[in-house]
Amino acid sequence: MSLPPPPGYYVPAVLFFDDNEELDVPAIQAHVLRLARGGVTGILVQGSNGEAQHLSHEERKAAITLTRQTLNDNGFGNVFVIAGTGAQSTRETIKLCVDAKDAGASHVLVLTPSTWAPAMNLDNTLRFHREVADASPVPTMIYNFPVVTAGIDLDSDTISALALHPNIVGAKLSCGQIGKLHRLSSTFPTSEFAVFAGRSDFFIPGLICGSAGVIGATVNVLPGLHGRLTTLYKEGKLTEAMELQAKLGHADWALQKLGGIAGVKAIVSKHFGYGLPTVRGPLKTIAIASLADNKHTKTLEELIELEKSL
């Protein structure tokens, strides 16, 4: 039986581009290293924050390779690399899984196809994920994110059925449904099927319910604070943990209000000194100057100051 990635906090890393929308290799490397030094358990390349759907196959493979090599070359060989491999056909998804293994990923995260959302009934959904898992050379995980799959939201019964497959080893729940997370984590041991919160705003509630941790966008900005939160929870300091959890919940919301992926890049560029806030269309790049005098920016800046003090 295949094994899931270990419990911890993972980051769906943003991918930096230059002014010509080409991969900005130095900025990508700088980001990978800051995250690794922040203690992340693993880096998800081409999650939704990595603009996977905006990349060619060659670019997707290059980004995974660059992440794995950067970690290995700088003493972070223990940091996992997971690759998002969702595509709109079973055939292409399988190819991306093969590419991901060749590029150095240990696991892949698979979105449910959604171009033909009405056709994705229970039978087709189960068949898709099982056929991908049958053919994937690395263990697969289910990525449930209704916002980017035309509203398709896999329920706990569907995910439980898929969890029985020997090569499907976990799920990322960006749907934010704590009840679903609790049902799954109380049904399957984390050592066999790891269920991760898909947002930082329910990281600790998820752990209390037995989750394996979090794979959340806010880790791009605040990796150290997620590590601090993990430590507080493990030490049984729940009151302190919940105080920090509340702050991360506000940070999650602030990043959404600042423009999601573009907002993450702008904040990182402004406060950590690398990369441009460039995103590929149809997303809209956010000017760093526009962050000034914004209440959501101020929320993040207070936490960034705390991050830098760790």
pLDDT tens readout for residues 199-229: 999 999 999 999 999 999 999 999 999 999 9
Element of type H or E holding 31: helix 25-37
What does the pLDDT read at residue 71? 98
Please give the backbone phi and psi of residue 293, each rounded to the nearest 5 degrees, phi first.
Answer: 55, 35
Residue 170 CB burial class (10 angstroms; 0-12, 13-18, ≥19): buried
Nearest Cα to Cα of residue 228 among 204, 210, 209, 251 = 204
62 — pLDDT class (breaks 50, 70, 90): very high
For the chain, helix, strand, coil in percent to 5 are 50, 15, 35
Q: For residue 44, what is the DSSP state?
A: E
- Cα 251 to Cα 190: distance, rounded to the nearest angstrom: 27
138 — pLDDT class (breaks 50, 70, 90): very high
Element of type H or E holding 142: strand 140-144
**Spatial CB neighbours of 231, under 8 Å, sequence gap ≥ 6:** none
102 — pLDDT class (breaks 50, 70, 90): very high
**Residue the block writes with tokens 């223990």:** 78
What does the pLDDT read at residue 132? 98
158-167, 230-239, 279-288: lowest mean pLDDT where? 279-288
Q: Please report the domains of the chain, with CATH numbers, ordered by start residue.
A: 8-236 (3.20.20.70)
Torsion from C-alpha of 130, 132, 133, 134, nearest 10 degrees: 80
Mean pLDDT of the residues in the chain: 96
Element of type H or E holding 89: none
Residue 208 CB burial class (10 angstroms; 0-12, 13-18, ≥19): middle
Q: For residue 283, what is the DSSP state?
A: S
Element of type H or E holding 110: strand 107-111
Tell whether residue 304 is among the known ligand binding residues.
no
Catalytic amino acids? 143, 172
pLDDT digits (tens, 9 = 90+) for 80-97: 999 999 999 999 999 999
What does the pLDDT read at residue 222? 98
- Cα 245 to Cα 164: distance, rounded to the nearest angstrom: 32
Query: In the chain, what percentage of residues exceed pLDDT 70?
Result: 100
Pairing between strand 194-197 and 107-111? unpaired
- Cα 297 to Cα 138: distance, rounded to the nearest angstrom: 39
3-state secondary structure of 204: helix
Q: What is the pTM of this model?
A: 0.96
- Cα 174 to Cα 159: distance, rounded to the nearest angstrom: 14
